Amino acid sequence: MDAMLQDKLSCRRPQAVTAGLRAAETLCRQRRLQMTKNRWMVLESLLEADQPMRAYELLRQLEMRLGRRLSPPTVYRALDFLVEQGLVSRIATKSAFVPSTHADSDLPRVFFICDSCGLSAELENAKLEALLERDAASLGFHIGRRVIELQGTCASCLELETKPAAS
């Protein structure tokens, strides 16, 4: 399991991880908030993973990295902060977390989650915003959290499915 996890972690390019951390740091500075060591570590792990991670998976991974036990609230509190600031989104259907690539935007986030490999891709959709706002207004509803989760099959898995089995 850990070897598999390690393989998965090496998928995302280090530049993307660094860029994500830099962006988070800048955003926190602008909002006069502290990007503490714990928040940094949690975000870094999520940026390195190529699929949504559950809180306990994050905890286990951080413990492995640090070589010591961590108290779960350490991770939960860091996650709460990151979600509050829009740096991380919670995928409710998976009870898992993914870093957000559009932290400073209020547009709805649409996550496409692959049922086969767990990969998640995030897109922002301005057209959807207008539609949702109109519908919400007709109901007199105020939209709070704007995360839309779509489940299905990603392009790579679709390709694998349609390929004939190797003989």
The number of residues that bind Zn ion (CB under 5 A) is 6
| Amino acid identity, position 32 | R
C-alpha to C-alpha distance for 43 and 97, rounded to whole angstroms = 10
- Six-digit token pair at 40? 């940094």
114 lies in the site for Zn ion, by CB under 5 A: yes
Stretch that binds Zn ion, among 29-37, 63-71, 74-82, 156-164 (CB under 5 A): 156-164
116 lies in the site for Zn ion, by CB under 5 A: yes
Our CB check for Zn ion shows the closer of 49 and 119 to be 119
148 lies in the site for Zn ion, by CB under 5 A: no
C-alpha to C-alpha distance for 138 and 156, rounded to whole angstroms = 40
Q: For residue 97, count other CB atoms closer than 10 A to its CB.
A: 24
Provide, rounded to whole angstroms, the least separation between the CB of residue 7 and Zn ion.
Answer: 15
- In the list 117, 121, 128, 147, the residue contacting Zn ion (rule: CB under 5 A) is 117
Cα-Cα end-to-end distance for the chain: 28
Interacting residue ranges for Zn ion, rule: CB under 5 A: 114, 116-117, 119, 154, 157
